[in-house]
Structure 1
């Protein structure tokens, strides 16, 4: 992971964006030595089916999930 100051990034932004895009390199942008921004390649989030598909049909509900829980938790 590379690190660069905001002032240096300003003059070479396109170069660094190409690096991130082509090689997937992450860049940390600093301001006075403190990290403020991370630039990384955009990745699609997995779908709900990808995340939980293998659990389909394996979960059992023992009560109605839409009923209020104020009795259990008390009203605020």
Structure 2
């Protein structure tokens, strides 16, 4: 992970963006030595099925969300 000041980034932004795009390098931008922004390659989000697949069949749906349920919460 590279670190660069805002002033240096301003003059060479396109060069650094190409580096991030081609090599996947992450860049931390600093202001007076303190990190303020991280630039990284955009990644696609995993599909919904992959994210929530293990929950299939475990979620209960109730018609009226304001009606009390008859089930009690069990202690863990």
TM-score by length of 2: 0.75
Give the secondary structure class of the aligned counterpart of 2:28.
strand
Q: Aligned pair count?
A: 68
| TM-aligned CA distance change 1:10 to 1:50, over 3 Å | same
1:41 Cα deviation after fit: 0.2
- Following TM superposition, the consecutive aligned residue runs of length 4 or more in structure 1 with deviations greater than 6 angstroms are none
* Partner Cα separation in structure 2 for residue 25 and residue 18 of structure 1: 10
**RMSD across aligned positions (CA):** 2.1
Runs of 5+ consecutive residues of structure 1 not aligned to the other structure:
71-76
Which residue is 1:51 aligned to? 51
Runs of 5+ consecutive residues of structure 2 not aligned to the other structure:
69-76
Q: Which has the higher helix share?
A: 1
TM-score by length of 1: 0.75
